[in-house]
């Protein structure tokens, strides 16, 4: 794993309990397997169609709402994330929901633990690409594990979203549109009592 991805992994491991506590308040994770539209939009559901019995992989699974939704649609789901903490929490929730999901910790740019053409569906999106230093490796690996004739769904935010600095009084441009990064910020600010500067994280626009 490269140094940037390793730093991002440490950041996600550290903030995961706080992040997942917010997900827990929303409680949508308890219903996504019953109502997949809570995690997948109308177009995604249309393209997916009937995936009952198919092998599906969610890359950068994070809160795992999509993984639970795909399982609810009848797929055999493998959830992949860089953060073991994220996966541990998701595994506990999957057990509570009675979902037989496989959880694998891996960098999306290095899926060597997964076999070629292992999945009928590969899904990624919703704030994954921003953490990845090399999108070519990321998407190459996604296509490698996808079966011939399978479906690769990418649902990501437009880069225009990344240029803004959020201020109480409104929006202000912080980055040029073509400044791809890495942009460095400190995730220790998200953790009460954490040492300032202890969790540098990197984003790519």
Length of the chain: 205
- Percentage of the chain beyond pLDDT 90 is 72
Q: Which structure tokens are listed for 118?
A: 């292992």
pLDDT category of residue 194 using cuts at 50, 70 and 90: confident
In a domain, 202, yes or no: no
Domain CATH code at residue 80: 3.40.50.150
∠ CA 132-134-135, nearest 5°, is 80
**For the chain, what is the domain count?**
1
CA nearest to 146, candidates 60, 24, 38, 54: 54
Residue 133 falls within a domain, yes or no? yes
Q: What is the Cα–Cα distance from 102 to 64, expressed in whole angstroms? A: 12
So what's the pLDDT on residue 5? 96
Identify whether 178 is part of a domain: no
User: What's the mean pLDDT when you consider all of the chain?
Assistant: 93
57: pLDDT strictly greater than 90: yes
């Amino acid at each position: 794993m490269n140094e940037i991805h390793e730093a991002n992994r440490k950041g996600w491991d550290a903030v995961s309990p706080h992040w997942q506590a917010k997900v827990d308040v929303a409680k949508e994770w308890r219903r996504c397997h019953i109502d997949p539209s809570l995690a997948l939009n109308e177009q995604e559901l249309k393209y997916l169609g009937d995936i009952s019995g198919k092998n599906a992989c969610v890359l950068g699974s994070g809160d795992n709402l999509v993984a639970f939704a795909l399982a609810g649609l009848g797929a055999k789901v493998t959830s992949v994330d860089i953060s073991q903490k994220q996966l541990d929490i998701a595994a506990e929730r999957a057990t509570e929901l009675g979902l037989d999901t496989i959880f694998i910790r891996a960098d999306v740019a290095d899926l060597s633990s997964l076999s070629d053409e292992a999945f009928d569906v590969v899904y990624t999106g919703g704030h994954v690409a921003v953490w990845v230093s090399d999108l070519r490796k990321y998407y190459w690996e996604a296509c490698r594990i996808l079966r011939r004739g399978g479906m690769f769904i990418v649902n990501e935010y437009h880069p225009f979203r990344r240029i803004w600095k959020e201020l109480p009084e409104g929006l202000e441009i912080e980055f040029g549109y073509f400044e791809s990064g890495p942009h460095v910020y400190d995730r220790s600010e998200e953790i009460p009592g954490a040492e300032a500067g202890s969790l540098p994280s990197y984003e790519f626009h």
